[in-house]
Structures are given as structure tokens and as C-alpha cells.
Structure 1
Amino acid sequence: MKRFRNILVSLDTRHEDQSILESAAEVARSDQAKLTLVDVVPPMAWMTRLLVPDHEYIQQLMTEEKQQQLEALAGSLRDEGLDVETKVLLGKTSTEIIREVLRNRHDLVDH
């Protein structure tokens, strides 16, 4: 019996240990579920926004870097035949994860 169809995996690509990804991939394999890998770029502190004139560019660079890292992680899973999507969310991690779950009706969240 397939329990899960749409799994959200919240990652922090700054860390080396991504063992949670393998656990989620095992569930996805057994249930033939879709995986969505997400990472979150937090908002810049108000002081940073005031003092750093190119803070939006810096945030864009952070987003692009996280997207590349997520795509690298997703590549090997796709090679195994898994359906994997990647997203970089902007905002407070807990809030953005909840929004993502509600928007896309994820039935399992792995963090």
C-alpha cells in the first residue's frame, strides 16, 4: 500500500550531512512518491538592508547557490528514476515550510 505521494524534504545546503535525504528517498522509492527538495534563504536583517546597498543582489546570489546545490543533490536521485523537484524559498524557514505544504498538499515532511 502506498502511504505517501508527495514528500517535502527541507534541507540546509550549508551542511555536509544530508542523510535525511536518503531516508526520504527510500520512502519515495517504496511508495513511488514525488520528492520536493527545499532550502530557505532567510530575510536580511533590517540593519543589513539599510547599510548594504546591494543586499538584494547578495540575496539573489544566495538563492542561486542554494538552487545549484539542491539540483546537484537531486541529480543522483533523478538518475535512479525518482521524480524530484527543487525549490528555494525566501523568508522565515518555519513559515515558508508550512506555506509550501499547504500550497502543494505534501503528505510527508522530512526535516
Structure 2
Amino acid sequence: MNRFKNILYVSDGRSDTCSAIKRAIVLAENNHARLTVVDVIDHVNEDEKILERFGVSLDRLLHDHRLNELENLIEPYQKENQIIYTRVLMGPAFAEIIQMVMQGGYD
């Protein structure tokens, strides 16, 4: 019997997370579980002039950067028969994580 089916791993953006992500991946593999790796970032208060001048939101830039970092974090551990989902949430970390757990049915 598999104990876990849907695992949520919350990254904090530090570079020393390799051992923790390895453990989450092994846990997901051993239980044939789905693994979702998320990070939570705060909204950036930005001046409208920045958006007008550069045509891109600072929130969007930060989101894309963190998503890229998450994908780079899991890339060495990706296997052909396993999908690891990545997602970046925006807002207060505690609220976003609780909401994701409640909506996603994580173990």
C-alpha cells in the first residue's frame, strides 16, 4: 500500500535544498505519488511608469525567474517515467500554501 499519493514540496529559494528535494523525489517515486514543487513570492509594489516604459510587470519577471529556478532545481532528478510539477504562487506564503493544500488534495 502506498502511503502518499499527492506530495507538495515548498521550496524556500535557498541553494541548500538539494538534499530535501532529493528526499521528496525519492518519497514520490517509492509511493508512485505525484510531486508538485512550489515557491511562494510576495507581490512587488511597482510604479506604473516601470510597466509603461518596459512593458512588463516586475511581478511577472520575478514569477518567471523563480519558476525557472524551480525547474533548474528539479532538472537533474527528472526521469523519463516521472513528472514533477512546478508552480510559483504569489502572496502571503502561509495563506497561499494552505489554499494550495486545501484545493489540491495534498497528503
Query: Same fold judged by TM-score > 0.5?
Result: yes
**CA deviation map 1:68-110 (0-9, x unaligned):** 1111122223226322100010110010001111111001xxx
Equivalent residue for 2:69?
69
Query: TM-score scaled to structure 1, two decimals?
Result: 0.80
- Please give the residue correspondences for 1:26-37 in structure 2 after superposition, counting only pairs within 5 Å: 26-37=26-37
Calculate the aligned-residue CA RMSD, in Å: 1.8
2:57 paired with 1:57:
yes
Gaps of 5+ in 1: none
Name the aligned partner's letter for residue 7 of structure 1. I
Equivalent residue for 2:40?
40
**CA deviation map 1:3-37 (0-9, x unaligned):** 00100000022x11112211111211110111100
Percent identical: 31
Query: TM-score scaled to structure 2, two decimals?
Result: 0.83
Equivalent residue for 1:16?
15
